[in-house]
Structure 1
Amino acid sequence: MAAEAVAARGGAAGEPAGDAPLLGERARDLYLVILREGGRWPMAEVPAQDEEPVRELLDLGLLESSLADACYRAVNPRVVGGRISEDLRSAGTRLLVRAQEMPDLLADLTRAYDATPRSVDRSGEVRHVHDIDVIRRRVDQLFAEADGEILSAQPGGSFPPSLLAEWTRRTQPFLAGGGVGRLLFEPAARSDGPTVSYVLAAAELGARFRVLGESFKRMTIFDRRLVVLPASAQYASAAFVEDPAVVAFLVGLFERDWQRAEPVQWRADTVDIAGLPLPAQVGRMLSQGLTQRAIATRLSLSERTVAGHISRLRELYDAETLFQLGWLMRAATDDLDGEPVR
């Protein structure tokens, strides 16, 4: 009985109790009271509220009934503990033997399962659309039907005003209705005035934005059940993915990138870095996470010229490595900008 009482306090049938208490607090206190009374307690004196704690003590073996004098008598816990330990060891041995036998016991069922042809689940296929107008109408519908969360990753430093206007038209009703939106940008997007204006307006409605200074894939996820992906390099076609396994994988990618990204300050008075001196442009891009090669490409300079500017910036910031320089410059920029919009 004692071993069964211990097992009953565990998780699955027959498992030890683990971290579960062996006795309830009231049962433990009651045992101490009985000891103070000389180790015996008349059955007739047990109040109704103590019947369950008494049952616990009896099940565990810490109390025994003496019908001769109608009393409960305390049992030495050392004796009870040794008996329960032995019972549990025996039960554990039986479980180990059972576990080793289980594959053989189910072998015939396993062979039958492996030999059964599988029907293909086509409930979540990928639909490719190659018409821009059809894609836009479908995305409009998805925004209108979404009622929980929209996750979006949008690489690129700037976006056409027409696209930003389209985003505003779609996201404002969704956010105003209580929807949750999270959007991931590249650091260079902070220098694009129209993009910053979109971010500030959406942030007022509760959207959250982060920037990630490394490569990531463009996607939009609706309620964690459908993902829209570009299906061509020119974004002239799109794939609408509903397969649960693929959707879960893409959600995992987004969450991984979101954790690596940073919340930053988005300012309405964003400086147009094109009007800054060349070394300042290099420094601003470096603080945004762009690589030396990416900076050279954007400024139409050789990598050697960019390396010269970076070398002088390292001396200015007393940075030993390029990684350290980027962090020092980013910290300086954040100090000027203030608290981030998240």
Structure 2
Amino acid sequence: MTTDDLAGPGTGPVPAVRTTSEVLNAALPDEVARELYLSVLREGGRIRTADVDARDAVALERLVELGLLVPQVLDASYSAVDPRGVADRIGAGVRSMGARLMAEAERLPELMGDLTRAYDAAPCRNDRPAGVRYLTDMEEIRHEIERFSQEYRNEGLTAQPGGARPVALLPDSFDRARRYLERGGSMRTLYEPAARLDGPTVDYAAEVTRLGCVVRVLAVPFKRMLIFDRLVAVIPAAADGSSAAVVEDPATVAFLVDVFEQQWQQAEGVNWAALSAGSAESASPAQDQVGRLLAQGLTQRAIASRLGLSERTVAAHIARLREMYDAETLFQLGWQMRGARTGEPGA
């Protein structure tokens, strides 16, 4: 089961309608027409047909169409008209259009009534048992997650153990998250500290954070879960993630929400934008995390366990840090790094 699909799919294309902005843009002169109108005003509000540059023919036609210039047949000229009258006429048309659209909007539930009744009568809604139900097909799991993200649009809580997110899923995950957030939903996500060491995951977290999602890292073990609007939760039903349990029992969901909130309070905020940008402070995320934990007094094995890395990888990072700090022993390295972080002299 992948929980990067929290946001679900988009709502689909909306039938094309002419928006108010499009109507206004169509009713307003473009820049060339505006400049021609202003030049007519500078000439006293009248311009002879013979004095109109051939390059302004389209702009002239546009001004006449809008009613900002009125042709005078007797002396072959054009007279400027007060824009206020034109604005009143256009405004009346827009207001009329708005009233018609509002009336049509009121009819939408009625027009979609047969589809709504069919959806409510579908077996996936009426036949599902209360409490907990199990999904064993990956496509079905994905379908349910996407459906929940459409029906429960206010809040998404996700706990994502593991380090790097699957690279192939990140573009679709970002697009779904973007649509979920743009619909007004809020998202909070927990990652393990090892996520800070994977470039694509860091870039993804930086992008969704920019959109409004909040992503923290939690250094203690936690379980995978998705919670939608504090009403329904999806959790693994097998260790390998091949099946999932959909929890709709209010008491159980409330318990899972409480667990998430406690973990959220323990979690650490991350400047994902800085990590993604590769700032000097975070030039080497893996090395920086190893050094931070080493300065806290953790052993090589404890650091490997905390970050989800092999001891060999941690040993390689420590070796590079010893070179940087010219430390002969691990104790001396930790002491010197602690001094570098606190501003106090090292050993």
TM-score norm. by structure 1 comes to 0.50
What does residue 252 of structure 1 align with?
258
What does residue 153 of structure 2 align with?
147
- Out of 250, 270, 290, the residue aligned to residue 264 of structure 1 is 270
Gap change, CA 1:147 and 1:280, over 3 Å in 2? closer
Q: Is the 8 A contact 1:153 1:218 kept in 2?
A: yes
Gap change, CA 1:310 and 1:140, over 3 Å in 2? farther
1:254 partner SS: helix
Q: Is the 8 A contact 1:213 1:290 kept in 2?
A: no
What does residue 226 of structure 2 align with?
220
Please, which runs of 5 or more residues in structure 2 have no aligned partner?
Answer: 1-127, 320-327
Amino acid at match of 1:314: G
Once residues 177 and 243 of structure 1 are traced to their aligned partners in structure 2, the CA distance between those partners, rounded to angstroms, is: 27
How far apart are 1:127 and its partner, in Å?
Answer: 1.0
Q: Is the 8 A contact 1:220 1:229 kept in 2?
A: yes
Amino acid at match of 1:207: C
2:248 is the alignment partner of 1:242: yes
Q: Is the 8 A contact 1:154 1:219 kept in 2?
A: yes
Please, which runs of 5 or more residues in structure 1 have no aligned partner?
Answer: 1-121, 320-327, 333-342
Once residues 201 and 175 of structure 1 are traced to their aligned partners in structure 2, the CA distance between those partners, rounded to angstroms, is: 12
How far apart are 1:278 and its partner, in Å?
Answer: 9.9
What does residue 310 of structure 2 align with?
299
Q: Which moved more, 1:132-141 or 1:304-313?
A: 304-313
- Out of 167, 172, 180, the residue aligned to residue 174 of structure 1 is 180
Amino acid at match of 1:301: R
How far apart are 1:279 and its partner, in Å?
Answer: 7.3
Amino acid at match of 2:332: R
Once residues 288 and 191 of structure 1 are traced to their aligned partners in structure 2, the CA distance between those partners, rounded to angstroms, is: 19
How far apart are 1:259 and its partner, in Å?
Answer: 0.9
Q: Is the 8 A contact 1:186 1:211 kept in 2?
A: yes
How far apart are 1:147 and its partner, in Å?
Answer: 1.8
How far apart are 1:217 and its partner, in Å?
Answer: 1.3
Q: Is the 8 A contact 2:236 2:243 kept in 1?
A: yes
What does residue 165 of structure 2 align with?
159
What does residue 23 of structure 2 align with?
none
1:268 partner SS: helix
> Relative contact order, CA 8 A, sep 6+: which one is greater?
2
2:328 is the alignment partner of 1:317: no
- Out of 124, 128, 142, the residue aligned to residue 134 of structure 2 is 128
Amino acid at match of 2:208: A
State the aligned residue count: 200
Gap change, CA 1:189 and 1:253, over 3 Å in 2? same
Gap change, CA 1:239 and 1:269, over 3 Å in 2? same
TM-score norm. by structure 2 comes to 0.50
Q: Is the 8 A contact 2:234 2:244 kept in 1?
A: yes
Instruction: Mark the structure with the bigger radius of gyration.
Output: 1
2:175 partner SS: helix
Once residues 138 and 297 of structure 2 are traced to their aligned partners in structure 1, the CA distance between those partners, rounded to angstroms, is: 33
What does residue 282 of structure 1 align with?
290
- Which 4+ residue blocks in structure 1 deviate beyond 6 angstroms? 275-281, 287-291, 302-309
Once residues 285 and 199 of structure 1 are traced to their aligned partners in structure 2, the CA distance between those partners, rounded to angstroms, is: 22
Q: Is the 8 A contact 1:283 1:310 kept in 2?
A: no
Task: Kindly provide the CA deviation profile for residues 233-274 of structure 1, in whole angstroms up to 9, marking residues without a partner as x.
Answer: 211111111111100000000000111112121121348xxx
